[in-house]
Amino acid sequence: MQARIISSDIPEIDWAASGKAEIIQNVFTLINTLQYEIAYDRTLGLKRDFVDMPEPVAVPYVIAQIFSIVDEREPRAKVKDVTYSGISDDGSLIFEVVIDV
């Protein structure tokens, strides 16, 4: 089964998620978390160093990180495609991530 995750979405957290829903929720969390935001797992999430990079440099850098972090932290999901969709009103980069669960 393939799932499309858009990083700018605001989903409701399902604390009892299991199976494919849990995997999709985990991937969403991974791509929307920056390292050092989680108190007891400081290495969880994307590296912060892309924040001040110019957009043409930051986009491929983050795409590579998304592939890497999902492979490392949620091996039950395989990233099939990552597409850059632009910048949100708050200045965040928006990505569409397609995963195979």
Residue entry with tokens 């499309």: 4
**pLDDT tens for residues 54-74?**
999 999 999 999 999 999 999
| pTM for this entry | 0.91
Q: Can you list the domains of the chain with their CATH numbers?
A: 2-100 (3.10.450.40)
Residue % of the chain over a pLDDT of 90: 89
Number of residues assigned to the chain:
101
Spatial distance between the Cα atoms of 43 and 46, rounded to a whole number of angstroms: 8
CA-CA distances (angstroms) from residue 92 to 7, 59, 84? 9, 11, 11
Nearest CA-CA partner of 24 in 36, 42, 6, 37: 6
